[in-house]
Amino acid sequence: MKYVDEYRDETAAQRYVEAIQRTATRPWTLMEICGGQTHTILKFGLDRMLPKEVTLVHGPGCPVCVTPVELLDKAIAIASRPGVTFFSFGDMLRVPGSHEDLLMVKAEGGDVRMVYSPLDALKLAQQDPDREVVFFAVGFETTAPANAMAVWQARQMGLRNFSVLSAHVLVPPAIEAILDAPGNEVQGFLAPGHVCTVMGYWEYEPIAGRYQVPIVVTGFEPVDILQGLYMTLKALEEGRWEVENQYARSVRREGNAQAQQIIRQVFEVTDRAWRGIGVIPRSGLRLREEYAEFDAERRFDVADMTVEESPDCIAGLILQGQNKPTECTAFSTRCTPEHPLGAPMVSSEGACAAYYRYTREA
């Protein structure tokens, strides 16, 4: 690993900007998948450094943003029950459900807590066997190994008061859904480095070949992203459809075999609804049948809950790269971080939050 300063070096960044300017000879539309990459692009003004031939659009790589309202309402219903302690990552607490969010449940007396690891929830379940302890398992493949390990450990310990509400989603099916969408204009992708650190990038190779799009696994610092853009554009200009790895300091083609093993052991692939997008086949993870006793949807009988998403939020169009946040009529007026209509304005990886923070006065 190297120090972060090397990837924020102004001279190196300028070299890649100049290389991009020399390389792009025609209009190209590229999508960065990860919301962390989106925030870097806007924070450092990378999009404003690019030639007019290059258009960046923002993808669905914010797990908080793609969690559907239906799952939020299930979480709120569970967290509101007496005798339940509900654990979640911080971003999820302010994401609006149909009528309220998890912070409101806490304000009304619910035992809702923010944590950084599912092991914190597991520890409380051990210490207080009379309480039902639930962890909101949100995330892409990046967080799945730790959540799978927590469930595996709960089984080994014989805990009967621990469960997870799984909202895990997978990146490759989302890329395919974007490419299959009518009117798709995305011609190349920056793939999410953190996800690929766990899963590798072999899963992307069939996608690149089948759809004839270059995919470059990319890190999260300014130089990472500019290099990733340069590599993607060079491949497009040369007519190459392959997967390349810019983030070689962290990612290997095969990924982390042990992490993948625990995911496969505890979870299985399932269809999953994405906020504002709808159901994407085989795009989520659910607990395997042998771990069903740790499934909060079954334990609290909320599996059949369904709700309608608000028509005021265009999160789905933003997450598919079809609209920019500033093209939403509610942006920065009826929808702000203090009073969000949807998750992309709340999450630290949300595109709307990034635009609100970095571009309103640009």
How confident is the model over 111-141, as pLDDT tens digits?
Answer: 999 999 999 999 999 999 999 999 999 999 9
Instruction: Return the closest-CA partner of residue 88 out of 136, 124, 132.
Output: 136
Fold of the 4-62+171-245 domain: Rossmann fold (3.40.50)
Element (H, E) at 284: strand 278-287
In this prediction, residue 134 carries a pLDDT of 98
pLDDT tens digit string along 288-345?
A: 999 999 999 999 999 888 888 878 899 999 999 999 999 999 999 999 998 898 889 9
Task: With a cut of 80, say whether residue 21 has pLDDT above it.
Answer: yes
Write out pLDDT tens, residues 177-208. 999 999 899 999 999 999 999 999 999 999 99
Query: What token pair was written down for 5?
Result: 């300063």
Q: Which pLDDT does position 307 carry in this prediction?
A: 83
| Whether the predicted pLDDT of 360 surpasses 70 | no
Give just the sign of the alpha carbon dihedral 356, 357, 359, 362.
Answer: positive
Cα separation, 101 vs 88, whole angstroms? 12
Domain ranges of the chain: 4-62+171-245, 65-170+255-299, 315-320+327-358
- Say which residue the tokens 């404003």 belong to: 48
Question: Percentage of residues in the chain with pLDDT exceeding 70?
Answer: 98
Length of the chain: 362
> What residues form DSSP beta bridges with 113?
87
Q: How many CA atoms lie within 13 A of 91 on its CB side?
A: 19
- pTM attached to this predicted model: 0.93
User: Does domain 65-170+255-299 fall into CATH 3.40.190.10?
Assistant: no
Distance CA 316, CA 118 (A): 28
pLDDT at residue 362 above 70? no
Q: 179: which 2 tokens?
A: 């490419």
Return the axis-axis angle of helices 257-266 and 144-157, rounded to nearest 10°. Answer: 60
pLDDT digits (tens, 9 = 90+) for 43-60: 999 999 999 999 999 999
**Bridge-partner residues for 286, per DSSP?**
268
Percent of the chain with pLDDT over 90: 86
How much is the pLDDT for 308? 81
312 close to 59: Cβ distance less than 8 angstroms: no
Residue with tokens 């892409």: 140
| Bridge partners, residue 218, by sequence | 192
Res 361 pLDDT > 60: no
| C-alpha pair distances (Å), 220 with each of 37, 156, 191, 195 | 5, 37, 11, 12
d(CA 353, CA 356): 5
Task: With beta carbons less than 8 A apart as the criterion, state whether 23 and 237 touch.
Answer: yes
Mean predicted lDDT score pLDDT of the chain: 95
